[in-house]
Amino acid sequence: MVAALFLTGRSLLKCRMSGVKATQRLCSSFSSGRHRVNGVDLYYEQTGEGKHAVLLIPGALGSTQTDFGPQLKSLNKERFTVVGWDPRGYGRSRPPHRDFPPDFFERDAKDAVDLMETLGFGRFSLLGWSDGGITALIAAAMKPQLIDKMVVWGSNAFVSQDDLKLYNMVRDVSKWSERMRRPMEEVYGAEAFAKTWESWVDGIAQFAHRPGGSICVEHLPLISCPTLIIHGEKDPMVPSFHPHYLHKHIKGSRLHLMPEGKHNLHLRYAEEFNKLVEDFLEESPDYFSTPNN
Catalytic machinery residues: 130, 235, 263
Asked if residue 217 lies in contact with residue 176, where contact means CB atoms within 8 angstroms, the answer is: no
Output the CA–CA distances (angstroms, integers) from residue 17 to 45, 128, 209, 241, in the order listed: 10, 19, 38, 34
Query: What 3-state DSSP class applies to 264?
Result: coil
Amino acid at 215: I
Q: Please give the DSSP secondary-structure letter assigned to residue 55.
A: E
200-203 long-range contacts, Cβ below 8 Å, gap at least 24? 200/60, 200/61, 200/98, 200/100, 201/167, 201/168, 201/170, 201/171, 202/100, 203/99, 203/100, 203/101, 203/104
